[in-house]
Structure 1
Amino acid sequence: MKLATLKDGSRDGQLVVVSRDLKTAHYVNDVAGKLQTVLDDWNFYAPQLQDVYDALNAGRARHPFAFDPRACMAPLPRAYQWADGSAYVNHVELVRRARGAEMPPEFWTDPLMYQGGSDDMIGPHDDIVCTSEAFGIDFEAEVAVITGDVKMGAKPEQAADAIRLIMLANDVSLRNLIPAELGKGFGFFQSKPATAFSPVAVTPDELGEAWRERRVHLPMTVHWNSKKVGAPDCGTDMVFDFGQLIAHICKTRNVRAGSIVGSGTISNVDRSKGYCCIAEKRMLEIIDGGQPVTGFMKFGDAVKIEMFDAQGRSVFGAIDQLVSAKG
């Protein structure tokens, strides 16, 4: 099943079911108007939405209309929690090696995670708005999941059972603000502006064999100013799976329905697969030549993040954003 939230002038938008080929959609006001409503009582609402989805794909829907991803908000425009991990430890190791810092061994056994802003998620075609290019504007292509309720102390297997939906994320970073913030010893804040998400969120079964080991085994395709810069495989080199990431949050607290958990920047050891954030490219340049060559994003730059299945079909639709100056 594929779900999206369309802009309607309200904070939380209008929930729709989207066809598998992303060409048509159907309103589901008679079932639930908001995605959070569905997440709060998944077992009741999901089967009803599945019936609409099946009818839409079979050409039996009563009132289908053309789906326009440019009209989408984030699938969950306001979330109860946005917790972003760093499951691709290779990425962390590169960053630390570039600045001459040792890699603590516990980074391979205990996930890194920060809690981002969840009150203002943005849509897949909304601009990345920034007040200054000097902040070091960077994209970060990730996979994210939306959970149901998970009890404190849940093990990875139990936590994974609560994964309701999967989507893509562009976890924008302002790289030049990060060192001073981390230097305070209190984590990211101003360096992490609004996160964008793919047009649709999909249930794990939509991925078929590509969803296994609690990971997505498909490449993440990234274009920067129309140039393909990366297509690393999301299942390869993911040290912590989504069950482990959710269980990490649950160690000392409950996780409530409508929580979003991110994978962190997709990164493969195989450098031929390219990169999913500019910082990683710059780290490799530092390691190889002593200094970075590639600059960060400028006003007017574009980034496109998309995932295709084995048949070359877009699974989630594309995050397709421009960087713009705040007026």
Structure 2
Amino acid sequence: MKLASYNNGRRDGQLMLVSKDLSKTVAVPAIAHTMQELLDAWQLLQPQLSELYDALNDGLIDNAIDFDESKCLSPLPRAYQWADGSAYVNHVELVRKARGAQMPETFWTDPLVYQGGSDCFIAPKADIPLGSEEWGIDFESEIAIITDDVPMGVSTENAEKHIKLLMLVNDVSLRNLIPGELAKGFGFYQAKPSSSFSPVAVTPDELGARWEDSKVHLPLITHLNRKLFGQPNAGVDMTFNFSQLVSHVAMTRPLGAGAIIGSGTISNYDRSAGSSCLAETRMLETIADGKPSTSFMKFGDRVRIEMLDDNNKTIFGSIDQQIVEYKA
């Protein structure tokens, strides 16, 4: 099943059911008005939506309209919880190596997670307004999952059944603000502005065999200024799968329906497929040449993030955004 949230002038948008090929869509107010309303009652409402989804794909919905990604907000325009992990530990290892820092062994056994701002996500086709190029503007191409209600202390074995939807992420990072914030010993805040998510969220079964062991086994494709930047495989070198991340995040607290958990930057040990953020490319340059040669993003730069199925068809639609100067 594929779902989206159209911009209807309200904060949480209008829940839309989207056909498998992303060609048609229909509002479902008789079932749920918003994505959060659906997630709050997933067990009750999902079977009704699934039946309607089959009819939509079979061309049997008379009031279906053409699907338009430009009308989409992030699937959850705001959420009660946004916890982003760093499941690709080779990426963390690389970043630390470039600055001459040793990586603690616990990083391989205990996931890194930070709590991001979730009150205002950016639409997938909207500009990203930022105050200064000096902040070190970077994209991070990731995958995220959305859960239903997760009990505190859920085991890894039981966590996967709570994963209801998947989507893509652009986790914007301001690299030059990170060192100062981390030096305070209290984590990210200003260095992590609003994130963006793909136009469409999909149930795991939509990925077929490409969803295995709580991982997505497909390349995540990033273009920077319309040039291919990287396409590492999201299922390769993922140290902690999504079930492990859910279990970790819920260790000391329950998660409410609609909680979003991110994978962190997709990264492979085999660097031939490129990277999913500028920071990693700069670190590789630093290790090879002693200094980076790739600059961070400037106003006017554009990033596009997408994932294709085995038939080269888009699964989630694309995040396609331009960096612009914010003017109060």
Q: Give the TM-score category using the shorter length.
A: over 0.9
Q: What is the CA–CA distance in structure 2 between the aligned matches of 1:157 and 1:276, rounded to whole Å?
A: 29
Report how far residue 250 of structure 1 moved.
Answer: 1.1
Tell me the amino acid that sits aligned with residue 306 of structure 1.
E
Look up the SS of the partner of 1:161 in the other structure.
helix
- Give TM-score scaled by structure 1 length: 0.99
**1:1-327, aligned counterparts within 5 Å?**
1-327=1-327
Native 8 Å contact 2:122 2:128 kept in 1:
no
CA RMSD in angstroms comes to: 0.6
Runs of 4+ with deviation above 2 angstroms: none
Question: Which digits, 9 at most, give the CA deviation of each residue in 1:146-195, with x for residues without a partner?
Answer: 00111111111211110000000000000000000000000010000010
Q: 1:279-299: per-residue Cα shift (whole Å, max 9, x none)?
A: 000000000010010000000
Distance 1:129 1:277 in 2: 18
Q: Residue deviations 1:224-243, cap 9 Å, x none?
A: 00000100000000000000
Residue type of the alignment partner of 1:240? F
- CA drift of 1:112 comes to 0.3
Contact 2:14-2:34 at 8 Å conserved across structures: yes
SS of structure 1 residue aligned to 2:209: helix
What amino acid is the match of 2:247?
A
Provide structure 1 residue ranges, at least 5 long, that are not aligned to the other structure. none
Distance 1:181 1:198 in 2: 28
1:74-124 per-residue CA deviation (whole Å, 9 max, x = no partner) reads 000111100000000010000000000001000000000000001001111
How far apart, CA to CA, are the structure 2 residues paired with 1:266 and 1:56?
A: 33
Q: Partners in 2 of 1:309 and 1:243 — Cα distance?
A: 22
| Alpha-carbon shift at residue 6 of structure 1 (Å) | 0.4
Cα displacement string for residues 198-243 of structure 1 (whole angstroms, at most 9, x for unaligned residues)? 0000000000000000000000000000000100000000000000
User: What one-letter code is carried by the residue in structure 1 that aligns with 2:303?
Assistant: V
2:229·2:276 contact (CA, 8 Å) conserved in 1?
yes
| Whole-angstrom CA distance in 1 between matches of 2:122 and 2:28 | 22
SS of the equivalent of 1:95 reads: helix
Shift of 1:23: 1.0
- Looking at structure 2, the residues matched to 214 and 57 of structure 1 have their Cα atoms a distance apart, in angstroms, of 26
Aligned length: 327
Amino acid in the other structure paired with 2:275: Y
Q: Percent identity?
A: 58
d(CA) in 2 for partners of 1:93, 1:129 = 31
The answer to whether the Cα contact below 8 Å between 2:169 and 2:198 also exists between their aligned partners in 1 is: yes
Partners of 2:254 and 2:200 in 1: CA distance: 26
Shift of 1:9: 0.7
Deviations 1:107-147 (A, max 9, x none): 00000000000100111101111010000100000000000
How far apart in 2 are the matches of 1:154 and 1:143?
Answer: 21
Query: Partner of 2:312: helix, strand, or coil?
Result: coil
Unaligned runs of 5+ in 2: none
The answer to whether the 8 A contact 2:88-2:266 is kept is yes
SS of residue matched to 2:37: helix
